[in-house]
Amino acid sequence: MCGIAGWAGRPGEPELLDRMGLAIAHRGPDDRGRMVRPGAGFAFRRLSIIDVAGGNQPIENEDGSAAIVLNGEIYNHHELREELRRRGHGFRTRSDVEVVLHLWEDEREACLERLRGMFALAIWDERERTLFLARDRVGKKPLYHCSLPDGTLVFGSEIKAILQHPDVPRVPDLAAIDHYLTLQYVPSPLTAFRGIGRVPPGHWLRWRDGEVTVGRYWELRYGPKHAEPEAELREELARLLREAVAVRLESEVPLGAFLSGGVDSSAVVALAAQASGRRLQTFSIGFDVDGFDESAYARLVAERFGTDHHELRVTGGAPELIDDIVWHYDQPFGDSSAIPSFHVARITRPHVTVVLNGDGGDEAFAGYSRYARVSRNARYLGLPAPLRFAMFAAGRAAGPLLPRARRLAEFRPRSPYEAYAATLTHLSPARKPWLYSGEALLDLAGAAPPPMELLQRRRQPFLLDAMLEADVNHYLPDDLLVKMDVATMAHSLEARSPFLDHRLMEFAARLPPGLKLRGASGKHLLKEALRGLLPDAVLDRPKMGFGVPMGDWLRTGLRDLLQDALLSDRALGRGWFRPEAVRHMVSRQLAGHDEFHRVLWDLLLLELWLRRFVDAVPAPVLERAPSR
């Protein structure tokens, strides 16, 4: 696991590569590397996991005509290495990265279809004078890029590395900001900076003489559906999951697992504990607020499988972490579970260097309650428009609504697809004209962000598949995987996600909807495959997200920060939002009402990001120790 950065095009100073590497030093504190060629430069920071002694990068091929830097892990590198040796390739290291370079020499972009793992990579071909970038199928590892007016392409694992280039502007992208306020994250391929984009999951990018070509090599397909009996599918699912966990246990450094107490992380811990042959270390977060604490279930699983369990209690919103969160995420990121994610990564790193997690199980097997809620209410959305709108109006007039019900009432959806879009929305189109004041933002307020566009333009035969597809293409890579990658790499910790194994995901995508969502309960087949392995108390309890008591925190530990940031002359004077609307939301929140707490958190992170990355004169890059 590493950090990569570089450029192709007009020659840059070697010192620029040093600054780019320093900006992402937290991703790889163990070693560093640099390549300078007339047409390209690579900077590399290494977190040593495989071939600790000999796997530093960049790695060149036999004659030096091609070089690679790669962030990630390739789990089938042993099999590929033997195949390449039979083809005549020689190897200088035991690294999985050298395997990828030789495979690319033979197969070019088609090599990506052969890789099993997570990766973001860059390859410079000296003969063809081309730079080749690629990202893993699901988007586990990040890869950003910026094309400059002179044709130079700058890239990096994090935006802060790209910002070290003096010709890269720090200008907010208002379309991205509008989408951020809708979703709580900036959707791909946009970033919050104008002119800086990201390679989408499952895509490659080729640069040559200032021209950029982008191609897609993988897309998750939801058909044709499996026709085998449920018992056979259950056995195959158990086999695939067990294998996905097993291949992710290779490591030359200590390995553990995050354990929330939910089905997915518990399954990973159970299978890893059985396969590893040593006592597994597990790590969890607990809260002192009812409705948010899963620690009792995590302890139950830890006890069953005899893990060395570590638990941290979190209170008050951790205002001391906010500055670190803003710095590490590079752009406004409103998923408040970034706070406990930072905490659990912090307590994990002193014990292990690699950690397994349960990311991806909900998107593969329909674990979120919103899938059942939209499916259950789909028939009502087929009613004539006057009757449908009257029902929403009656619901709003009946009194306080749950946050998701309030979003439905504001959205007034006309179809199940619009209803699902409403469940993903933090700031509805109806609310934006009340909040926005700047003409530029008001002009953008009606634009649908990419997840909603996907729901509108593609209609899977099954509603559930359409919802899952939207989440796999945006919510998963742009929110959840960003959160996990940044939180772990901020602490020089590698995270591996067995549920994101592409073979397991492809199998799950082709399951009939009834084997995922049965009534109000998701993950039907997965839970049955785990029955007898995990405690029934874990399998049968209601779904609880990795949420935080943000409403309470904004009134207590984060109160001063909220007021000082959002009610300041600087924030109110930006001209983007109506000052009276912001003051009203803050006043309501501090008075004990939580209807605006999600939007306030998003606005707070946006303001702090603007101050850190846009307003301030960039400070010199220094070696930055991981957060403690």
Residues designated catalytic? 2
What is the C-alpha to C-alpha distance for residues 47 and 59, in angstroms, rounded to an integer?
Answer: 15
What is the C-alpha to C-alpha distance for residues 122 and 117, in angstroms, rounded to an integer?
Answer: 16
What is the C-alpha to C-alpha distance for residues 524 and 508, in angstroms, rounded to an integer?
Answer: 12
C-alpha torsion 617→621→623→624, nearest 10: 30
3-state helix, strand, coil in the chain (%, to 5): 45, 15, 35
Q: Return the SS3 of 74.
A: strand
Report DSSP state, residue 349. T
Report DSSP state, residue 186. P
How many Cβ atoms are within 10 Å of 623's Cβ, its own excluded? 8
**Identity of the residue numbered 493:** L
Nearest alpha carbon to residue 165 among 181, 177, 149: 149
Beta strands 255-258; 354-356: pairing state: parallel
Report DSSP state, residue 249. G
Radius of gyration of the chain (CA): 24
What is the C-alpha to C-alpha distance for residues 558 and 317, in angstroms, rounded to an integer?
Answer: 6
Backbone angles phi, psi at 427, to 5 degrees: -125, 110
**Identity of the residue numbered 402:** L
What is the C-alpha to C-alpha distance for residues 101 and 296, in angstroms, rounded to an integer?
Answer: 46
- 8 Å CB contact between 362 and 500: no
Backbone angles phi, psi at 219, to 5 degrees: -150, 135
Cβ neighbours for 171, distance < 8 A, ≥ 6 positions apart = 193, 194, 195, 614
Give all strands (DSSP E) within 180-293, no chain letters: 196-198, 203-208, 211-216, 255-258, 281-287
Backbone angles phi, psi at 561, to 5 degrees: -65, -45
Strand-by-strand arrangement of the 255-258 sheet: 308-314, 281-287, 255-258, 354-356, 494-496
- 8 Å CB contact between 75 and 250: yes
The full DSSP string for 117-173 is EEEEEEEEETTTTEEEEEE-SS--S--EEEE-TTS-EEEESSHHHHTTSTTS---B-
The pair of three-digit structure tokens given for residue 136, joined into one six-digit string = 């893993």
What is the C-alpha to C-alpha distance for residues 412 and 419, in angstroms, rounded to an integer?
Answer: 8
Beta strands 203-208; 153-156: pairing state: unpaired
What is the C-alpha to C-alpha distance for residues 458 and 463, in angstroms, rounded to an integer?
Answer: 11
Q: How many residues does the chain have?
A: 628
Look up tokens 């991703």; give the residue: 27
Backbone angles phi, psi at 188, to 5 degrees: -65, 150
What is the C-alpha to C-alpha distance for residues 163 and 80, in angstroms, rounded to an integer?
Answer: 36
